[in-house]
Protein backbone atom coordinates (compact mmCIF):
# COMPACT_ATOMS: atom_id res chain seq x y z
CA UNK A 1 0.00 0.00 0.00
CA UNK A 2 1.25 3.50 -0.88
CA UNK A 3 0.19 6.14 1.63
CA UNK A 4 0.64 9.88 1.94
CA UNK A 5 0.39 11.29 5.46
CA UNK A 6 0.27 15.05 5.87
CA UNK A 7 1.34 16.44 9.22
CA UNK A 8 3.61 13.41 9.33
CA UNK A 9 5.85 14.91 12.01
CA UNK A 10 2.96 15.53 14.39
CA UNK A 11 1.65 13.19 17.03
CA UNK A 12 -1.08 11.63 14.89
CA UNK A 13 0.82 11.70 11.60
CA UNK A 14 4.10 10.27 12.88
CA UNK A 15 2.44 7.45 14.81
CA UNK A 16 0.23 6.62 11.81
CA UNK A 17 3.36 6.60 9.62
CA UNK A 18 5.18 4.19 11.92
CA UNK A 19 2.08 2.00 12.20
CA UNK A 20 1.45 1.76 8.45
CA UNK A 21 5.16 1.43 7.58
CA UNK A 22 5.14 -1.82 9.57
CA UNK A 23 2.69 -3.31 7.06
CA UNK A 24 4.46 -5.62 4.64
CA UNK A 25 5.09 -3.98 1.26
CA UNK A 26 3.89 -0.54 2.32
CA UNK A 27 5.49 2.70 1.21
CA UNK A 28 4.73 5.78 3.26
CA UNK A 29 5.35 9.41 2.32
CA UNK A 30 5.11 11.97 5.09
CA UNK A 31 4.75 15.66 4.36
CA UNK A 32 5.15 18.34 7.01
CA UNK A 33 6.41 21.91 7.21
CA UNK A 34 7.43 21.54 10.88
CA UNK A 35 5.48 24.59 12.02
CA UNK A 36 3.99 23.28 15.28
CA UNK A 37 6.32 25.15 17.66
CA UNK A 38 5.92 28.38 15.73
CA UNK A 39 2.11 28.11 15.82
CA UNK A 40 2.27 28.03 19.61
CA UNK A 41 4.81 30.83 19.89
CA UNK A 42 7.57 28.56 21.13
CA UNK A 43 11.21 28.66 20.05
CA UNK A 44 11.90 25.17 21.42
CA UNK A 45 11.88 22.31 18.88
CA UNK A 46 8.94 19.91 19.08
CA UNK A 47 7.78 17.81 16.13
CA UNK A 48 11.28 18.03 14.62
CA UNK A 49 12.02 15.13 16.99
CA UNK A 50 9.42 12.95 15.25
CA UNK A 51 10.74 14.00 11.85
CA UNK A 52 14.17 12.69 12.80
CA UNK A 53 12.61 9.60 14.39
CA UNK A 54 10.98 8.61 11.08
CA UNK A 55 14.34 8.68 9.33
CA UNK A 56 15.01 5.15 10.65
CA UNK A 57 12.29 3.55 8.51
CA UNK A 58 13.60 2.76 5.01
CA UNK A 59 10.08 2.69 3.55
CA UNK A 60 9.19 6.16 4.85
CA UNK A 61 9.95 9.09 2.53
CA UNK A 62 9.95 12.55 4.12
CA UNK A 63 9.01 15.72 2.25
CA UNK A 64 9.38 18.97 4.16
CA UNK A 65 6.74 21.19 2.59
CA UNK A 66 3.50 23.04 3.13
CA UNK A 67 0.16 21.42 2.22
CA UNK A 68 -0.71 24.63 0.35
CA UNK A 69 2.27 24.13 -2.00
CA UNK A 70 0.77 22.60 -5.16
CA UNK A 71 4.12 21.46 -6.60
CA UNK A 72 4.98 19.66 -3.39
CA UNK A 73 1.59 17.91 -3.40
CA UNK A 74 2.07 16.88 -7.02
CA UNK A 75 5.45 15.39 -6.12
CA UNK A 76 4.03 13.61 -3.06
CA UNK A 77 1.18 12.09 -5.10
CA UNK A 78 3.22 11.29 -8.22
CA UNK A 79 2.31 7.90 -9.65
CA UNK A 80 -0.80 7.77 -7.45
CA UNK A 81 -1.20 6.54 -3.88
CA UNK A 82 -3.71 4.16 -2.31
CA UNK A 83 -4.45 6.34 0.68
CA UNK A 84 -4.08 9.82 2.11
CA UNK A 85 -4.32 10.56 5.82
CA UNK A 86 -4.67 14.28 6.32
CA UNK A 87 -3.33 15.11 9.78
CA UNK A 88 -1.64 18.45 9.03
CA UNK A 89 -3.25 21.44 10.58
CA UNK A 90 -3.41 24.14 13.17
CA UNK A 91 -4.81 22.10 16.08
CA UNK A 92 -5.34 24.69 18.85
CA UNK A 93 -8.43 26.63 19.92
CA UNK A 94 -6.77 29.67 21.60
CA UNK A 95 -4.30 29.96 18.69
CA UNK A 96 -7.26 30.05 16.27
CA UNK A 97 -8.74 32.95 18.24
CA UNK A 98 -5.37 34.74 18.13
CA UNK A 99 -4.85 34.23 14.37
CA UNK A 100 -8.12 33.33 12.63
CA UNK A 101 -6.84 33.97 9.11
CA UNK A 102 -3.86 31.67 9.49
CA UNK A 103 -6.11 29.09 11.13
CA UNK A 104 -8.49 29.24 8.16
CA UNK A 105 -5.65 29.10 5.67
CA UNK A 106 -4.06 26.02 7.28
CA UNK A 107 -7.19 24.08 8.18
CA UNK A 108 -9.83 24.98 5.62
CA UNK A 109 -7.94 26.24 2.58
CA UNK A 110 -5.11 23.74 3.10
CA UNK A 111 -7.58 20.85 3.14
CA UNK A 112 -9.23 22.08 -0.04
CA UNK A 113 -5.82 22.30 -1.77
CA UNK A 114 -5.07 18.74 -0.74
CA UNK A 115 -8.46 17.42 -1.85
CA UNK A 116 -8.00 19.11 -5.21
CA UNK A 117 -4.53 17.60 -5.59
CA UNK A 118 -5.96 14.16 -4.79
CA UNK A 119 -8.78 14.67 -7.31
CA UNK A 120 -6.28 15.62 -10.00
CA UNK A 121 -3.34 13.31 -9.31
CA UNK A 122 -4.67 10.32 -7.38
CA UNK A 123 -8.47 10.13 -7.62
CA UNK A 124 -8.67 6.49 -6.56
CA UNK A 125 -6.98 7.11 -3.20
CA UNK A 126 -8.94 6.69 0.02
CA UNK A 127 -8.85 9.98 1.94
CA UNK A 128 -9.17 10.27 5.74
CA UNK A 129 -9.53 13.71 7.31
CA UNK A 130 -8.56 14.31 10.92
CA UNK A 131 -11.53 16.41 12.02
CA UNK A 132 -12.54 17.20 15.57
CA UNK A 133 -15.36 17.10 18.12
CA UNK A 134 -15.18 20.92 18.08
CA UNK A 135 -17.32 20.89 14.92
CA UNK A 136 -20.28 20.28 17.26
CA UNK A 137 -19.32 23.44 19.13
CA UNK A 138 -21.39 24.36 22.15
CA UNK A 139 -24.21 22.03 21.05
CA UNK A 140 -22.16 19.17 22.46
CA UNK A 141 -21.55 21.01 25.70
CA UNK A 142 -25.01 22.39 26.37
CA UNK A 143 -26.72 19.12 27.25
CA UNK A 144 -28.03 18.84 30.82
CA UNK A 145 -25.13 17.95 33.10
CA UNK A 146 -24.53 17.02 36.69
CA UNK A 147 -21.57 18.40 38.58
CA UNK A 148 -19.93 15.82 40.82
CA UNK A 149 -16.99 16.35 43.17
CA UNK A 150 -14.34 15.79 40.50
CA UNK A 151 -16.16 15.69 37.17
CA UNK A 152 -19.21 16.50 35.09
CA UNK A 153 -21.52 13.72 33.89
CA UNK A 154 -24.38 13.72 31.39
CA UNK A 155 -27.61 14.09 33.40
CA UNK A 156 -29.50 11.74 31.07
CA UNK A 157 -26.88 9.01 31.41
CA UNK A 158 -26.16 8.97 27.67
CA UNK A 159 -23.18 7.07 26.35
CA UNK A 160 -21.75 10.02 24.48
CA UNK A 161 -22.15 12.22 21.43
CA UNK A 162 -23.18 10.53 18.18
CA UNK A 163 -22.67 11.79 14.62
CA UNK A 164 -26.31 13.01 14.54
CA UNK A 165 -25.46 15.90 16.92
CA UNK A 166 -26.26 19.17 15.02
CA UNK A 167 -23.42 21.48 14.02
CA UNK A 168 -25.49 24.66 13.40
CA UNK A 169 -26.62 27.67 15.42
CA UNK A 170 -23.99 27.45 18.07
CA UNK A 171 -20.56 28.77 19.10
CA UNK A 172 -17.58 26.96 17.60
CA UNK A 173 -14.47 29.18 17.92
CA UNK A 174 -12.54 29.86 14.67
CA UNK A 175 -10.88 26.44 15.02
CA UNK A 176 -14.29 24.71 15.08
CA UNK A 177 -15.33 26.69 12.02
CA UNK A 178 -12.20 26.03 9.95
CA UNK A 179 -12.29 22.34 10.83
CA UNK A 180 -16.02 22.11 10.04
CA UNK A 181 -15.32 23.72 6.68
CA UNK A 182 -12.63 21.09 5.96
CA UNK A 183 -14.95 18.36 7.26
CA UNK A 184 -17.75 19.43 4.88
CA UNK A 185 -15.36 19.64 1.93
CA UNK A 186 -14.12 16.12 2.60
CA UNK A 187 -17.70 14.84 2.74
CA UNK A 188 -18.57 16.74 -0.40
CA UNK A 189 -15.59 15.43 -2.37
CA UNK A 190 -16.97 11.98 -1.55
CA UNK A 191 -20.39 12.88 -2.88
CA UNK A 192 -19.77 15.10 -5.87
CA UNK A 193 -16.45 13.73 -7.17
CA UNK A 194 -16.77 10.15 -5.93
CA UNK A 195 -13.49 10.27 -3.98
CA UNK A 196 -13.43 7.70 -1.17
CA UNK A 197 -13.47 9.98 1.85
CA UNK A 198 -13.96 9.46 5.56
CA UNK A 199 -14.06 12.10 8.26
CA UNK A 200 -12.80 11.20 11.72
CA UNK A 201 -14.22 13.62 14.31
CA UNK A 202 -11.63 12.98 16.94
CA UNK A 203 -11.79 13.64 20.64
CA UNK A 204 -8.70 13.95 22.84
CA UNK A 205 -5.74 12.06 21.32
CA UNK A 206 -2.62 11.56 23.42
CA UNK A 207 0.47 9.42 23.55
CA UNK A 208 4.22 9.08 23.52
CA UNK A 209 5.97 11.49 21.10
CA UNK A 210 3.36 14.18 21.84
CA UNK A 211 4.63 17.70 22.39
CA UNK A 212 1.99 19.42 24.46
CA UNK A 213 1.66 23.16 24.83
CA UNK A 214 -0.60 25.02 27.20
CA UNK A 215 -2.87 25.77 24.24
CA UNK A 216 -3.03 22.25 22.81
CA UNK A 217 -2.19 18.72 23.89
CA UNK A 218 -3.13 19.14 27.56
CA UNK A 219 -2.43 15.54 28.61
CA UNK A 220 1.18 15.79 27.42
CA UNK A 221 1.47 19.31 28.83
CA UNK A 222 0.34 18.10 32.28
CA UNK A 223 2.69 15.11 32.06
CA UNK A 224 5.74 17.28 31.38
CA UNK A 225 4.64 19.62 34.19
CA UNK A 226 4.38 16.67 36.59
CA UNK A 227 7.95 15.68 35.78
CA UNK A 228 9.43 19.17 35.77
CA UNK A 229 7.61 20.46 38.86
CA UNK A 230 6.09 23.22 36.69
CA UNK A 231 2.88 24.97 37.73
CA UNK A 232 -0.09 24.50 35.41
CA UNK A 233 -3.12 26.68 34.83
CA UNK A 234 -6.53 25.06 34.81
CA UNK A 235 -9.07 27.08 32.84
CA UNK A 236 -12.45 26.48 34.48
CA UNK A 237 -12.96 24.21 37.45
CA UNK A 238 -11.00 21.17 36.22
CA UNK A 239 -14.11 18.99 36.24
CA UNK A 240 -14.31 19.10 32.43
CA UNK A 241 -14.32 15.60 30.98
CA UNK A 242 -12.82 14.22 27.76
CA UNK A 243 -12.67 10.73 26.37
CA UNK A 244 -8.99 10.00 25.91
CA UNK A 245 -7.76 7.88 23.02
CA UNK A 246 -4.24 6.52 22.87
CA UNK A 247 -2.77 7.44 19.51
CA UNK A 248 -1.86 3.91 18.34
CA UNK A 249 -5.56 2.99 18.67
CA UNK A 250 -6.33 5.85 16.30
CA UNK A 251 -3.72 4.56 13.83
CA UNK A 252 -5.46 1.16 13.93
CA UNK A 253 -8.80 2.85 13.20
CA UNK A 254 -7.23 4.54 10.12
CA UNK A 255 -5.89 1.18 9.00
CA UNK A 256 -9.23 -0.60 9.47
CA UNK A 257 -11.01 2.12 7.52
CA UNK A 258 -8.52 2.00 4.64
CA UNK A 259 -8.63 -1.80 4.48
CA UNK A 260 -12.41 -1.77 4.27
CA UNK A 261 -12.32 0.95 1.62
CA UNK A 262 -15.40 2.03 -0.23
CA UNK A 263 -18.04 0.56 2.12
CA UNK A 264 -16.75 2.81 4.91
CA UNK A 265 -15.60 5.76 2.82
CA UNK A 266 -18.54 7.32 1.07
CA UNK A 267 -18.10 10.74 2.61
CA UNK A 268 -18.76 8.95 5.89
CA UNK A 269 -18.36 10.67 9.29
CA UNK A 270 -17.15 8.85 12.42
CA UNK A 271 -16.87 10.06 16.00
CA UNK A 272 -13.61 8.61 17.29
CA UNK A 273 -12.37 8.73 20.86
CA UNK A 274 -11.75 6.60 23.89
CA UNK A 275 -15.48 6.38 24.67
CA UNK A 276 -17.10 6.31 28.06
CA UNK A 277 -14.66 3.80 29.62
CA UNK A 278 -11.77 6.16 28.92
CA UNK A 279 -13.43 9.39 30.04
CA UNK A 280 -11.75 11.40 32.75
CA UNK A 281 -11.75 14.95 34.00
CA UNK A 282 -8.68 17.18 34.18
CA UNK A 283 -8.68 16.76 37.97
CA UNK A 284 -8.77 12.98 37.63
CA UNK A 285 -5.91 12.94 35.12
CA UNK A 286 -3.87 15.16 37.47
CA UNK A 287 -4.42 12.65 40.26
CA UNK A 288 -3.23 9.79 38.04
CA UNK A 289 -0.12 11.75 37.07
CA UNK A 290 0.56 12.55 40.73
CA UNK A 291 0.42 8.84 41.48
CA UNK A 292 2.93 8.17 38.68
CA UNK A 293 5.33 10.95 39.72
CA UNK A 294 4.81 10.66 43.47
CA UNK A 295 4.57 14.46 43.65
CA UNK A 296 1.77 17.01 43.84
CA UNK A 297 1.32 19.06 40.66
CA UNK A 298 1.18 22.79 41.39
CA UNK A 299 -1.86 24.44 39.86
CA UNK A 300 -3.74 27.69 39.63
CA UNK A 301 -7.26 28.27 38.36
CA UNK A 302 -8.28 30.81 35.70
CA UNK A 303 -11.64 31.67 34.03
CA UNK A 304 -13.19 29.24 31.53
CA UNK A 305 -12.00 29.43 27.94
CA UNK A 306 -14.51 30.35 25.24
CA UNK A 307 -16.67 27.43 24.02
CA UNK A 308 -14.85 24.93 26.22
CA UNK A 309 -17.15 21.91 26.40
CA UNK A 310 -17.74 20.94 30.05
CA UNK A 311 -17.97 17.36 28.90
CA UNK A 312 -17.33 15.66 25.60
CA UNK A 313 -17.49 11.89 25.25
CA UNK A 314 -17.59 10.26 21.82
CA UNK A 315 -20.26 7.71 21.13
CA UNK A 316 -18.14 5.38 19.00
CA UNK A 317 -20.93 2.92 18.13
CA UNK A 318 -20.76 3.72 14.42
CA UNK A 319 -16.99 3.25 14.28
CA UNK A 320 -17.34 0.01 16.24
CA UNK A 321 -19.94 -1.27 13.80
CA UNK A 322 -18.53 -0.09 10.48
CA UNK A 323 -14.79 -0.15 11.14
CA UNK A 324 -14.90 -3.12 13.53
CA UNK A 325 -12.85 -1.06 15.90
CA UNK A 326 -12.69 -0.26 19.57
CA UNK A 327 -9.93 1.19 21.73
CA UNK A 328 -7.50 -1.29 23.30
CA UNK A 329 -5.17 0.91 25.34
CA UNK A 330 -6.89 2.02 28.53
CA UNK A 331 -6.07 5.34 30.15
CA UNK A 332 -3.90 3.90 32.94
CA UNK A 333 -1.72 2.08 30.44
CA UNK A 334 -1.68 5.00 28.00
CA UNK A 335 -0.71 7.53 30.66
CA UNK A 336 1.99 5.21 31.91
CA UNK A 337 3.47 4.98 28.37
CA UNK A 338 3.34 8.74 27.89
CA UNK A 339 4.81 9.37 31.33
CA UNK A 340 7.72 6.98 30.77
CA UNK A 341 8.49 8.37 27.31
CA UNK A 342 8.40 11.96 28.59
CA UNK A 343 10.68 11.07 31.51
CA UNK A 344 13.18 9.39 29.17
CA UNK A 345 13.19 12.47 26.93
CA UNK A 346 12.74 15.16 29.57
CA UNK A 347 15.52 17.29 28.05
CA UNK A 348 13.15 18.06 25.15
CA UNK A 349 10.69 19.72 27.52
CA UNK A 350 12.83 21.99 29.67
N1 LIG B 1 -4.46 15.73 19.16
C2 LIG B 1 -5.77 15.83 19.36
O3 LIG B 1 -6.23 15.68 20.51
C4 LIG B 1 -6.71 16.10 18.23
C5 LIG B 1 -8.08 16.03 18.46
C6 LIG B 1 -8.96 16.28 17.41
C7 LIG B 1 -8.47 16.60 16.16
N8 LIG B 1 -7.13 16.69 15.95
C9 LIG B 1 -6.65 17.03 14.62
O10 LIG B 1 -5.74 16.04 14.20
C11 LIG B 1 -4.70 16.60 13.43
C12 LIG B 1 -3.36 16.15 13.98
O13 LIG B 1 -3.26 16.52 15.34
P14 LIG B 1 -1.90 16.33 16.13
O15 LIG B 1 -2.24 16.21 17.56
O16 LIG B 1 -1.07 15.29 15.50
O17 LIG B 1 -1.25 17.76 15.91
P18 LIG B 1 0.30 18.11 15.70
O19 LIG B 1 0.43 19.58 15.82
O20 LIG B 1 1.15 17.24 16.56
O21 LIG B 1 0.54 17.68 14.18
C22 LIG B 1 0.16 18.49 13.11
C23 LIG B 1 1.34 18.59 12.18
O24 LIG B 1 0.93 19.33 11.03
C25 LIG B 1 2.03 20.12 10.64
N26 LIG B 1 1.49 21.21 9.83
C27 LIG B 1 0.69 22.24 10.24
N28 LIG B 1 0.39 23.04 9.19
C29 LIG B 1 1.00 22.50 8.12
C30 LIG B 1 1.06 22.86 6.74
N31 LIG B 1 0.46 23.97 6.29
N32 LIG B 1 1.76 22.08 5.90
C33 LIG B 1 2.39 20.96 6.35
N34 LIG B 1 2.37 20.58 7.63
C35 LIG B 1 1.69 21.34 8.51
C36 LIG B 1 2.70 20.56 11.92
O37 LIG B 1 4.05 20.92 11.72
C38 LIG B 1 2.55 19.30 12.77
O39 LIG B 1 3.68 18.47 12.66
C40 LIG B 1 -4.91 18.11 13.44
O41 LIG B 1 -5.53 18.47 12.23
C42 LIG B 1 -5.88 18.34 14.59
O43 LIG B 1 -6.72 19.43 14.34
C44 LIG B 1 -6.24 16.43 16.95
pLDDT tens digits for range 211-252: 999 999 999 999 999 999 999 999 999 999 999 999 999 999
Q: Which of 19, 136, 152, 175 is catalytic?
A: 175
CATH of domain 2-144+159-211+246-276+308-330: 3.40.50.720
Contact partners, residue 29, CB within 8 Å, separation at least 6? 2, 3, 4, 5, 8, 60, 61, 62, 63, 76, 81
- Residue 32, helix vs strand vs coil: strand
Query: How far away, in angstroms, is 72 Cα from ligand 1 center?
Result: 18
- Mean pLDDT value across the chain: 97
What is the distance between the alpha carbons of residues 258 and 323, in angstroms, rounded to a whole number? 9
| H-helix or E-strand spanning residue 271 | strand 266-272
Exposed e or buried b per residue across 55-69, where buried means at least 16 C-beta atoms within 10 angstroms of its C-beta: eeeeebebbebbbbb
**C-beta separation of 77 from 121 below 8 A:** yes
Ligand 1 pocket residue status of 5, Cβ below 6 Å:
no
pLDDT tens digits for range 31-47: 999 999 999 999 999 99
Is pLDDT above 90 for 133? yes
The mean pLDDT of 3-15, rounded to a whole number, is 98
pLDDT of residue 221: 98
Ligand 1 pocket residue status of 135, Cβ below 6 Å:
no
pLDDT of residue 149: 98
Where are the chain's structural domains? 2-144+159-211+246-276+308-330
Among the listed residues 218, 224, 223, the one whose alpha carbon sits nearest the alpha carbon of residue 44:
224
**C-beta separation of 232 from 225 below 8 A:** yes
Question: Whose C-alpha lies nearest to ligand 1, atom 26?
Answer: 88
How many residues make up the chain in this entry? 350
For residue 221, the number of C-alpha atoms closer than 13 Å in the C-beta half-sphere is 16
pLDDT of residue 141: 87
Q: Is 270 a catalytic residue?
A: no
**C-beta separation of 225 from 93 below 8 A:** no
pLDDT of residue 332: 98
pLDDT tens digits for range 265-275: 999 999 999 99
pLDDT of residue 165: 98
Q: Is 38 exposed, middle or buried (0-12, 13-18, 19+ CB in 10 A)?
A: exposed
The pLDDT confidence band at residue 68, using thresholds 50, 70 and 90, is very high
Amino acid sequence: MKVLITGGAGLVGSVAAEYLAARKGSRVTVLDNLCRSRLFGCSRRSVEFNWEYLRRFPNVRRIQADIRDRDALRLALRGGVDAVIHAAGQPGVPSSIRMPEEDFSLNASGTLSLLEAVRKHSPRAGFILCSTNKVYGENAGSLPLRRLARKYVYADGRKGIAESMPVDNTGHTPYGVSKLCADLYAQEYGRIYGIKTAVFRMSCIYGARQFGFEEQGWVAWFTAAALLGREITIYGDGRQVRDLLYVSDLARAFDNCLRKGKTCMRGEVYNIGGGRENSFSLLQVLLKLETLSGKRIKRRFAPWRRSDQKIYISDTSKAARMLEWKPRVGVDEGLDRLFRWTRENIGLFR
